[in-house]
Amino acid sequence: MKILVASQDLTSELNASISRGLIQQGLVEKEPSEFILLPFDGQQQNLISDLQQWNGGDLQDFVYYGPNWESTQITYLLTKFADQQTAVIDTSDFTDRQLTSQYDHHDLFHASSYGLGQLILDAVTNEAKEVVLLIDDTSMIDGGLGMLQALGAVITDESGDPIPVGENPLINFGHIDFAKPDELLKDIKLTVLVRETSTYTGSDSKLVDNGREIGLLSDQIVRLDLLTNQFNRAMRKERNLDLSTIVGAGAGGGIAGALACLDATISNSTYQWLFERLDFKKELADVDAAFLATDQVNQTRFTSSFVGELAKFCNDQNIRTVLMTLIRITPADEWNLPLVSTVVLPKIVGIKLPIIEEHVATSERELQQSLYLTTHEVAKLIN
């Protein structure tokens, strides 16, 4: 029997790695068995290291300009999908909202995404045929125009004068020439993985929301709103592209939308993308059963989480699946996966299993024992 094992963190102490180990130990009597342990834990900041562990590849260190032109180092992954060199870049360090506490209103208004363009250039220099950017919460408000500058776009103000590097190009935007980035990236596939559904401009504009949230002055917010609309009008005219209608285009303070102007694909389903790229339909075709664990099954973040997407994948592939969780909130009729059995982990007290280390706190020991014993007993029902 081939068994798939995967988990997210159940608590801060009982992380995904420990959980996978406990599940596997609970299954040892299901022999002869072959186990496939997926290293992913559902945390975006760990996706690159988890992906390297599963798929191989080389980590690349690169120094580039941060939002306010400070030298910043980032590590991204060069790996291969179907023999195609692919760069996977996590932009969360670059666009960390917490960094806004270090800057005043002037710096925030003039911050630039130029460094992300440098990162893409480095990936292309390293022969990547696809560049994948992971974009999470952000404080950027330049609409990705700084990034486009780094890729060779010539951006001018309303007088036709080129806007110099070192400025937020959006706040004086007049016109943009895409000739150089179009040529540079003509054979490169761009993919943007986002977690939000905001648009570039319009009622759901992420740029304007960001401006308010980071405390820009009212006149700065008004200017931001006017110029995002002006840029979008230019894109409708020159690229036949309406950024107000593209779901997720506002992610990264408009970085996703700017990349859409270069024919990037925007997806708000990171793990569906991952499963497709790793060809899980083929790789996991002979799996007989799956044991998954997560902290809670709810109606918000769970369905798009790693374990949530994996449960749906297993159901679609006719894999019998046991989903163990601490809390179940989602009603049964809204989580209708016939081949996925959800088990709420019981509280087990009064015993000490030898598999649990002595130094573990009592509450954590009880949870670990519950995960192990539940796996062990439920496994008896699967032939």
- Give me the residue spans of the domains in the chain: 2-38+288-379, 44-271
Is residue 76's pLDDT more than 60? yes
User: Residue 113, SS3?
Assistant: coil
Q: At what angle do helices 362-379 and 16-26 cross, to 10 degrees?
A: 40
Topology of 2-38+288-379 in CATH? Rossmann fold (3.40.50)
- 356 pLDDT tier (thresholds 50, 70, 90): low
Pick the range with the lowest mean pLDDT from 61-70, 89-98, 241-250: 89-98
HSE-up (13 A, CA, CB side) for residue 143: 30
Contact 74, 119 (CB under 8 A): yes
pLDDT band at 108 (very low <50, low <70, confident <90, very high): low
Distance CA 335, CA 303 (A): 9
Give the tens place of pLDDT for each residue, 21-59.
999 999 987 777 899 999 999 998 899 999 999 999 999
The string of pLDDT tens digits covering residues 268-312 is 899 999 999 999 999 999 999 999 999 999 887 888 899 999 999
Query: Which burial class, exposed, middle or buried, applies to 299 when counting CB atoms under 10 A from its CB (0-12, 13-18, 19+)?
Result: exposed
| pLDDT above 70: residue 218 | yes
Token pair 């009064």 is at which residue? 350
CB proximity list for 307: less than 8 A, separation 6 or greater: 6, 7, 8, 42, 292, 293, 294, 323
Strands, E assignment, 222-307: 265-267, 289-297
Q: How far apart are the first and last CA of the chain?
A: 9
**Is residue 352 predicted with pLDDT exceeding 80?**
no
Residues paired with residue 90 on neighbouring β-strands, in sequence order:
134
Q: Are 73 and 62 in contact (CB under 8 A)?
A: yes
Query: How confident is residue 103, by pLDDT bands cut at 50, 70 and 90?
Result: low
pTM passes above 0.75: yes
The closest of 61, 212, 208, 74 to 134, measured between CA atoms, is 74
Q: Residue 229 class from Cβ within 10 Å (0-12 exposed, 13-18 middle, 19+ buried)?
A: middle
Contact 114, 66 (CB under 8 A): no
Instruction: Indicate if the pLDDT at residue 338 is higher than 80.
Output: yes
With a pLDDT cut of 90, the percent of the chain lying above it is 62
Q: Specify the pLDDT at position 32.
A: 72
Instruction: Give Cα separations from 281 to 44, 275, 312, 323 (angstroms).
Output: 23, 8, 12, 20
**Across 178-206, average pLDDT:** 90
Give me the pLDDT at residue 139, please.
66
Provide the pairing of β-strand 84-90 with 130-135.
parallel
Runs of H (alpha helix) within 112-192: 114-125, 145-150, 179-184
Please report the pLDDT score of residue 347 as a whole number.
77
Flag whether pLDDT at 256 surpasses 90. yes
Note the pLDDT of residue 208: 80
180 φ, ψ to 5°?
Answer: -70, -50
Is 44-271 a domain of CATH 3.90.1510.10?
A: yes
